[in-house]
Structure 1
Amino acid sequence: KEQIKSRFLNKMNDLLIETGFGTSIEIEVSQEIKEDVGAADRAVAAAVPARLSLSRNGLNPNYIFSSFVVGKSNRLPHAACLAVADSPGVAYNPLFIWGKVGLGKTHLMHAIGHHIETTQPNTKVLYVSAEKFTNDLITSIRNNTNNEFRSRYRELDVLMIDDVQFIAGKEQTQEEVFHTFNALHNSKKQVIISSDRPPRDIQGVEDRLVSRFEWGLVTDIQPPDLETRVAILQKKAEIKNYQIPEDIVLFIAQNIPSNIRELEGALNRIVACSEFNSDPMTMENVTVWLKDLLHDTRSGPVNIGLLQQLVAESFGISMEDLLSPKRTADLALARQVAMYLARNKTSESLQQIGYAFNRKDHTTVIHACKKIEALLKTDLRVRSFVDNVVSKL
């Protein structure tokens, strides 16, 4: 039981919440399986009583405000969600949160639900995916239980519908969402909606619904910056009791710039590879373990992590040495070239570039840029290194 909980419970919760079927899983073993059980059918029968208990409100116990990392990219939606959680039906109604996949929309919605349930225990809260809402509607039509369906959704105090873009082109689902929205909003009940795009960009959704989605507050979550990505990884590692070296955390944050789910997936992968293979968590090992993810970043926007990789390869040095405080001539030059390219090929600030190289003072970056600019005019070797890296972008 304990091994299943430690290795699989969080993943099971996450998978269930993605499918919209509720998430608070508890594992109980009602009967211990003895080693002398001989027949396969008896062994299976003995295992069946293990019971899963799902929360009826669809809330994931891991998604709470205290585990959400706030940065520049999500400060406004986070503040809006706190306001709604404190005063449901009053602050912003409806609250519409949009942003690309894996940026924290679902986390914030669940956090609102948990906060309301804690501070207002008698409040009826429900989180569903738009797909689950649609499936419930189809089931009610098939079983002739439309009244029960409508009562369930229209007698809530707080309704959260995730990934509402799923209802595009589904006329009957949109009809039910429309009337459910009206019933709740007219009763001053809170409605919270998420999507991967703003309301007016959702093709195939009726104008009357789009208009209602925009009645309250529409706010978006942007991809996190480097510092926020590092903080997210540190928080995830803390929650899961992972021991991850700081340079590895920074390396992952630099190379997976846009998606929090991918960040967490990379973190889980390196921990699993390290444990299963009994290998140390070195930069070289991590680069191999995350090879497919790192390769994908090369086809996307240029980022500091990619430039560091290419410079390290070009100079024939390791990432550890590039990011270390060592001051040998070749390492110092490689570091300065990487800083120069980061300044000229990315939109990161001097402070962010310095942070990516474990340098607290951004004047180091200014000095590096000036030095490489001067060397490019006179030193063919330096020019060759820079051209080689740029040609691989």
Structure 2
Amino acid sequence: MTPKRMLRFVPILLLGLTGCQDALDSVSNKVEHPLPAKLVNKMKAQDMSTRSPIMMRIFKEEGVLEVWKQKGNGRFDIIASYEICKWSGKLGPKFKEGDRQAPEGYYRIYPAQMNPNSSYYLSFNMGYPNSYDRSYGRTGSNLMVHGACSSAGCYSMTDEQVLEIYGFARDAFKGGQKYFIVEALPFRMTPENMARHRDSEHFEFWKMLKTGYDHFELTKRPPSVEVCDRQYVFNQVPEVENAAFMANASCPPASVPTTLATAYSAYEKSWNQAFAKAVTKFDGEEARQIAAEEAKAEAEARRAEREAERQSRIAANGGQTPAPVLSLFASGNPLKALTAGPGPVAALAAPAPAPEAAPQSTAAQVETEAEPEQTLGGIPVPQPNPAAPAEVAEAAKPGQPDQSDKPFWKIWSKN
């Protein structure tokens, strides 16, 4: 690309990169900026008012923030889902100031927690630490959902996303909602996910959060969340009117409404069966993985042992690597191939030890005893009989030369 064309190309590239920012710069009043028409139309199609109550769910592992909105029948349905730009830390709750951990739990968001003048475009404070967190002495401040796509313990969105999220909350408060709940969860509390994370140090904490998650899955209504006896409790109706739930005190006598309790009992039974099945599945997969790793390690050990033996043989051979047998066959010397290197074939082809000197025989014994056989590695080799040359000549087939005076191995290799 020529310099002149490059100069024409750069502004086009920058325009593509800053398109979203240009759209936001055109927003004259971000605090009161209306929700996009496509969302308004979607709400109407799902029997939702623009000012009906909302609830939000955050799933760390999936990296998703969901906005749920109340329909005409009082139940909630999802209206928007956003990919979280950044969140810091790992799965599990926040413990102390400076650990850069995004919180997990149930948090109430009141109008006073909305920040229209945020340094991160727009934001709302999650209200960490809540009464549950404080009951365990957990510390931290300014934990938010905000824009600017940067995080040090917060859930960070893009500016364009937070403009919509802020608009949903603003309109719900205008409709009279006193506060909305944010469920900040490590993952969707399915049997498979819980089975996969069952060995985590936070598993008991997540089991507690799961009760509120399950209640919402059953009712599609945000759970009533309280804290007592240093535990989250959900949809509890006190037996005594106006009984208080105190985080560090025992829970007052209370129970879940009968309809919900019955539905939850059946749900839990089915869920526990699915969880047990998932555990068996993951245990089997882990066992297969362990067996595969052990087999791999054993094979590597055998290869290392064979290599050590090979190196030992090379060292014993004065550093010379034995020529491969196939290469000797290819060279046209099969006998050398058979006798190359250690092995049973080489033993057969090895020269026989020299016979010990026999005692002097008499003339009669010389005439009657057969001449000692010659062998090749212990294998008898037929020898020509000098006393009967005529018989040898007659044994030759017509048209073939007499080969009786050739060594056995030469005849074999030629045939």
Please indicate the TM-score interval, normalised by the length of the shorter structure: under 0.3
Q: What TM-score, normalized by structure 1, do the two folds share?
A: 0.20
Higher percent of residues as strand? 2
Larger RCO of the pair (alpha carbons < 8 Å, separation 6+): 1
Greater Rg over alpha carbons, structure: 2
Q: What TM-score, normalized by structure 2, do the two folds share?
A: 0.20
Higher percent of residues as helix? 1
